[in-house]
Amino acid sequence: MKFGINCWSFPKTFPIEEALKAAKEIGYDGYEVGLALDDLEHFGKDEFKIKFKTIKETSESIGVEIPSVATGLFWHFNPITDRENALKVIRAECEVASLVGAELILAVPGVGVPSLAYEKHFEKASEFVREASKIAEEYGVKIGLENVWNRVFAGPLEFKQLLDEINCENVGAYFDVGNTIPHSLPEHWIRVLRDKILQVHVKDFNLVELKFGIPLSGSVNWGEVRKALEEVKYDGYILPEVPPYLADPVKAAEDSFTSLKKIFG
């Protein structure tokens, strides 16, 4: 397994060049870049290409890989109800991936809405992801669907059912360990999804305080998580996706790396 760090583990005001240097100094192999709303607004313009080409040049000069592209924009453009704009996000992510040399983009398959029958969410999400798959194929990248608190596809069997219905070779799961708590257990997800897991986000969730945190700070059974990942022979990236501390821009990333070394060796 390789250790990477998600861009949101550093403050938004922290320059990405400094974040890449910090990731290297801490010991991470990779850095996951993000696509923000202002990036989407500049999509197709020179500044968009310049920004991400510069990120690639910086990462290469430092010696940090960029395995993937993440975004939170599917909360703004729900694939279930706003497919057209959600597909624009997919294309922008794919463009970023091509500019920085990433092989995977993160997507949320949709957010549950009360006006739509639960079963219809599977149909709408499948249609969206199949279209997204065609776009990703143009760029030669894969799509990892992340399990999130989205009021739908909340269990491992349902998530696997969704992936089976989509049935695209370049689509799998972007598995988030902490997002399974409190409604399910991450080790169950891993053993159900198995080789459908393309990449892994890690964070903890404290069932007493009801908040996320760095690995080993909450209620996740990390011994079982490691055991399950070893059973399914997962050997890809593991990336903390944790909020930064208020008083120090890199300490959360440092503490997460220490936890990863303790959990996974």
Indicate yes or no: pTM above 0.75: yes
Q: What pLDDT shows up at residue 149?
A: 97
Q: What pLDDT shows up at residue 234?
A: 98
- Return mean pLDDT, the chain: 98
Q: Are 75 and 207 in contact (CB under 8 A)?
A: no
Task: In whole angstroms, give the CA distance from residue 218 to residue 5.
Answer: 19
Q: What does the pLDDT average to over 41-63?
A: 97
Counts for the chain of helices (H) and strands (E), in that order? 9, 10
Say which residues have a Cβ less than 8 Å from residue 176's Cβ, sequence separation at least 6.
Answer: 146, 147, 148, 200, 201, 202, 203, 241
83-125: pLDDT as tens digits: 999 999 999 999 999 999 999 999 999 999 999 999 999 999 9
Q: What does the pLDDT average to over 235-243?
A: 97
Q: What does the pLDDT average to over 15-27?
A: 98
Q: Where are the domains of the chain?
A: 2-264
Q: Are 198 and 104 in contact (CB under 8 A)?
A: yes
Q: Regarding the domain delimited by 2-264, which CATH topology (the fold level of the hierarchy) does it fall under?
A: TIM Barrel (3.20.20)
If pLDDT is split at 50, 70 and 90, which confidence band does 164 have?
very high
